A and B are shown apart, each in its own frame.
Chain A
Amino acid sequence: MNTTATPQGNIEIRHLDIHFGRGAARFQAVSDVDIQVPGGQFVCLLGPSGCGKSTVLGALAGHLAPSRGELRLDGEAISGPHPERGLVFQHHTLFPWKRVIDNVAFGLKMKGLARAEREGRARELLHLMGLEGFERHYPAQLSGGMQQRVEIARSLINRPRVLLMDEPFGALDAQTRLLMQELLLDVWTRVRTTVLFVTHDIDEALFLADRILVMSARPGRIIEDLAVDFARPRDALLTTTEDFNRLKRHCMDLLHHDRGERVLERLSPIGEANAKSLSFAV
């Protein structure tokens, strides 16, 4: 598709401010955020609940308009949702009325591809995700971990330049979460794309990322840009090493600055999480 040698998926965020609400209820979710991510990097946004990390993600996905600042992907300004910026939510955002194969193939249907071709490519991705045999199932018939794998496949089918992941494993049990993290890294080695992964779990961020951006409590600012250069491929044993724990302590120190403050409710990457806020003139 792209014949130039420059890697794709360079994210550029400058002076990003985002506000929510109106009148007296108005508050600042994100304050003066600057982020540059070179194409192909795996970056985790780490921060306490409600700090605005999902908000940054929502702005990159094109679901939230910034109050100030600019967002660019490969030099192009972001002005709305686009399939080249795939978004994976925490849970329950598969279309419950579509079978697994049709969920995964949805992006190709939107591109106007014929059924045979889109199902073929959906099957490939389901194979990559270890989900062969579940094509005809409905999402409700799958476990939480399998649903998240379908979600990831559904985003990847569009060959996104950036994969935006909003605590995608946050609703899973610890065991499944670990398996999913390993699977994600495995998939990422084959489908090289920039990943921006939001989490409040320090272990998860350290295990996955090339680089961790630590955010403060609301209004969210970037307070630390941390390189994580553990060798890849990584496995679960990494989390028991000395180096890992040293970095973990460092992250805990950063996050515990905010200890004692009230816990803020989680912000959604699409703003007010109801359909009304997304309604449009027909």
Chain B
Amino acid sequence: MSSAKLELAPAVPLSPATGGSRPPAWLGPALRWLLRLGSLVACVLVWEFAAASRLNLGLVTFANVPPPSEVGPAIWKLVSSPKFSNHVGASLTRVFSGFFAAALAGVLLGLLVGRSRRLEDVVMPPLEALRPIPAVSWIPLAILMFPSSELSMIFITFIGALFPVLLNTVHGVHAVDGRLVAAARSLGAGRIAVLREVVLPGAAPSIVTGLTIGMGTSWFCLVTAEMIAGQYGIGYYTWESYTLQNYADIVVGMVFIGLFGMASSAALRRLGALATPWYRLREKQS
């Protein structure tokens, strides 16, 4: 980590119009934000135009795509209906049950496997064999294996998050500086203390990365599982809207899936940064 980071030069607006006087410094960032916002608005406008005019490009058609002017009111309708909390509550319960189970199992197993080669040889081969199988392809078997579809969906989100968390934890543990472990032992730390005081905090940044990735895959798996096996839930709502031909509600479902996924990942990153305040310092230093 000794390589110097390249700093991007602060954005100075290219101003072909102004001959002599330079624009004030605040204009640079302001202009960039304006451009970003403008790009977003332009995309919504193109969508509105394509959907409203039922644009047909041959390969892809917008004939059945709801325009944003219909999606907006549909969002409001869903948010103000009692269905909303049912759907959202069902999805959040599933995603967090599966995710927390995976986080707990992944971190614990990762710490142990990372510290013991013997345990690694016992635990990892079966897991490595299962890893290439995408979590979503577990859905039919999961439905057969679990007594309720609720449990099978939680299982799918669990599988989705488990591997990123586990592998990042193992990686983090392996990357802990052996000299730190030696220093701790010379200061009187036993095995448990080494694990708690050195290995866990040392692996923490990597664990946070694993949890963030796992959160993303959890949502992805949940939505798929709900479309197939669910009653209630955002993914179920999206698919139901398709079968009921409420096309605007399809997009409403998509919007909320995106929002919740983004919010939970952001919350996790924030928590991770709070849990490892020293980590940013270290990066800055070296």
Residues of A near any B CB (own CB < 8 A): 61-63, 80-83, 85-87, 89, 92-93, 95-98, 106-107, 109-111, 138-141, 154-155, 158, 268-270, 272-282
**Residue pair A281, B187 in contact (C-beta under 8 Å):** no
Interface flag for B22 (CB, 8 Å): no
- Pick from A98, A111, A275, A281: contact of B181, CB below 8 A: A275
Please, which residues of chain A bring their CB within 8 A of the CB of B279? 96-97
Q: Choose, from B192-200, B249-257, B264-272, the stretch at the interface.
A: B192-200
Q: A98-B278, A275-B177, A276-B117 are in contact. List 19 more A-B contacts (CB 8 A).
A: A61-B182, A61-B186, A62-B186, A63-B182, A82-B186, A89-B183, A93-B179, A96-B279, A107-B188, A138-B277, A140-B281, A155-B186, A273-B179, A275-B174, A278-B182, A279-B117, A281-B119, A282-B191, A282-B195
User: Which 9 residue pairs are nearest across A and B when measured between Cβ atoms?
Assistant: A110-B188, A83-B188, A140-B281, A81-B185, A97-B201, A87-B186, A270-B182, A107-B187, A140-B285
As a 0/1 sequence over residues 230 to 270 of chain B, the CB contacts with chain A under 8 angstroms (1 = contact) are 00000000000000000000000000000000000000000
**Residue pair A140, B119 in contact (C-beta under 8 Å):** no
Q: With CB as the reference atom, state the residue of chain B lying closest to A268.
A: B179
Please, which residues of chain B bring their CB within 8 A of the CB of A275? 173-178, 181
Please, which residues of chain B bring their CB within 8 A of the CB of A86? 186-187
Residues of B near any A CB (own CB < 8 A): 112, 114-119, 173-191, 193, 195, 197-198, 201-202, 204, 276-279, 281-282, 284-285
**Residue pair B182, A280 in contact (C-beta under 8 Å):** no
Which of B118, B179, B281 has the largest number of chain A CB atoms within 10 A? Answer: B179
**Residue pair B186, A85 in contact (C-beta under 8 Å):** yes
Q: How far is the CA of A139 from the CA of B187 in the complex (A)?
A: 18
Q: How far is the CA of A93 from the CA of B112 in the complex (A)?
A: 23
Q: With CB as the reference atom, state the residue of chain A lying closest to B193.
A: A110
Task: Tell me the smallest distance from the CB of B78 to a CB of chain A, in Å.
Answer: 44
If the complex has contacts A95-B180, A282-B112, are A138 and B187 also in contact, measured as CB distance less than 8 A?
no
Task: Tell me the smallest distance from the CB of B147 to a CB of chain A, in Å.
Answer: 34
Please, which residues of chain A bring their CB within 8 A of the CB of B191? 280, 282
- Pick from B115, B179, B187, B189: contact of A279, CB below 8 A: B115
**Residue pair A96, B116 in contact (C-beta under 8 Å):** no
- Pick from A81, A154, A158: contact of B182, CB below 8 A: A81
Please, which residues of chain A bring their CB within 8 A of the CB of B190? 110
**Residue pair B188, A280 in contact (C-beta under 8 Å):** no
Please, which residues of chain B bring their CB within 8 A of the CB of A106? 184, 187, 189, 197
If the complex has contacts A96-B282, A97-B276, are A278 and B188 also in contact, measured as CB distance less than 8 A?
no
- Can you give 11 contacting A-B residue pairs, CB < 8 Å? A89-B183, A92-B177, A93-B182, A95-B197, A98-B278, A107-B187, A155-B186, A275-B176, A279-B116, A282-B116, A282-B191
**Residue pair B174, A281 in contact (C-beta under 8 Å):** no
**Residue pair B178, A83 in contact (C-beta under 8 Å):** no
Please, which residues of chain B bring their CB within 8 A of the CB of A140? 278, 281-282, 284-285
Task: Tell me the smallest distance from the CB of A181 to a CB of chain B, in Å.
Answer: 22
Q: With CB as the reference atom, state the residue of chain B lying closest to A271.
A: B178
Please, which residues of chain A bring their CB within 8 A of the CB of B197? 95, 106, 109
